[in-house]
Amino acid sequence: MNHSWIEISRSRLKQNVQALCSSIPAPTEVMFVVKANAYSHGLVPVAKTAAEEGVKWFAVAFLDEALRLRAELPDVNILVLGLVLPEHVGELLAKRILPVVTSLEHGRSLAEVARAAGRTLPVHLKVDTGMGRMGVQWDEVAATVQALNKAGGLEWAGVCSHFARVDPDQPDHAAAQAQKFNEALKSLPATAFKHISSSRAALYFPEWDLNGIRQGIVLYGYGANDPKGRFQTRPILQWKSRVVQVKAVPADFAVGYYGTYRTEYPTQIATLAVGYADGYNRALSNRGDVLIGGRRCAVAGRVSMNWVTVDVGPDAVVNVGDEAVLIGEQGEEAIWADELAKICRTIPYEILTSINASLERRYTL
């Protein structure tokens, strides 16, 4: 019996894809961001499910993710958002994987290998319009493209940028980035596949759809529950564990390291087989809830490496082997990653991607 596991709803993922696709104009493609093991949901099963719903574009961070994806999905378009080194140009060409060009020097190094092989490498140009990470500065795009065109060896298959801030109530920052991107586009072929919209941008700003919208967190079910947005989605991941012990304890009973939780009255403490080694954030100590028997039960004491202790109350009927929900639904109650993120002062992305990759992923219909 597994101590802790993840359940992914394929049907809910398909519903999320349908909700998104039905809200955007037909010519605009969805580019599903499946980096970091599909935000901990499982790279290949998630991508395959989305492909069944007609998604033709996928984005990853690193080449090894792209190669895993290509082995399972031979016909989709795959873009590597991070830097790919020139020694991998042969693999890019052989596997039809698209890299981004992040600088003039990077472009030259890729082009040199491609020319030596007598080939032309399709690439997307990454433009920095205000994120401040990788990419050619937007006002240096014209000179960069001119220099690389002169050298030869590259085909401008696409061009992209990345919003640093999207706020529907204060859109000026994103609008300024979009304007810089539009200026950069003047130096690229009209046929280049253009994409800048993030999940949040796609939700509120259809004018930035262009040829494709890069969608991550909303397809996993977060950040798209605002009725003012173009679409709504629901979380597809649940995280569950088991009760391994139930102990009746008196009032003023210390629980966990350094006794940071003391019972106010006689109650029962249940121990769950999960801990921070599995990715359950230690900041949830004495602050988080889990679901047992369809009820919220408070995390009691500090989260430890392999165990979480929970105050289930004096009268609850809880047995060894009972299911406990850390993220997900049980009965009429639900706890989702955004709730845990608020407690931990972080974002749902970190809560999800922190879940240990070794935990079993079960894919339900």
Question: Does residue 342 have an active-site annotation?
Answer: no
Determine whether 257 is an active site residue.
yes
Where are the chain's structural domains?
10-215, 237-364
Which residues 6+ apart lie within 8 Å of 60 measured at CB?
Answer: 33, 34, 35, 43, 66, 69, 78, 79, 80, 81
The whole-angstrom separation of Cα 105 and Cα 259 is: 57
2 pLDDT band, cuts 50/70/90, is confident
Q: Which residues pair with 324 in a beta bridge?
A: 241, 292
Model confidence pLDDT, tens digit, residues 36-66: 999 999 999 999 999 999 999 999 999 999 9
Which neighbouring-strand residues pair with 62? none
Q: What residues contact 218, with CB distance under 8 A and at least 6 apart?
A: 16, 20, 199, 202, 203, 224, 231, 233
In CATH, which superfamily holds the domain spanning 237-364?
Lyase, Ornithine Decarboxylase; Chain A, domain 1 (2.40.37.10)
336-353, pLDDT tens digit by residue?
A: 999 999 999 999 999 999
Token pair belonging to 13 = 């993922």
The three-class DSSP label of residue 84 is coil
CB 261 within 8 A of CB 286: yes
For the stretch 71-102, pLDDT in tens is 999 999 999 999 999 999 999 999 999 999 99
Identity at 27, one-letter amino acid code: P
Residues facing 102 on adjacent strands: none
Which of the residues 186, 257, 265, 342 is marked catalytic?
257
The whole-number average pLDDT for the span 189-216 is: 97
- Distance set, CA 216 to CA 4, 208, 211, 221 (Å): 25, 16, 17, 9
pTM for this prediction:
0.95
Tokens of 34: 């499946």
Determine whether domain 10-215 maps to CATH 3.20.20.10. yes
Q: What is the pLDDT of residues 146-158, one digit of tens each?
A: 999 999 999 999 9
Q: What is the mean pLDDT of the chain?
A: 97
pLDDT digits (tens, 9 = 90+) for 261-282: 999 999 999 999 999 999 999 9
Please give the pLDDT value at position 1. Answer: 55
Q: CA torsion, points 82, 85, 91, 96, in degrees to nearest 10?
A: 40
Catalytic residue among 35, 126, 180, 240: 35
Any idea what DSSP says for residue 279?
A: T
* pLDDT tens for each residue of 109-143: 999 999 999 999 999 999 999 999 999 999 999 99
**Which is nearest to 32 in space by CA: 14, 55, 10, 9?**
55
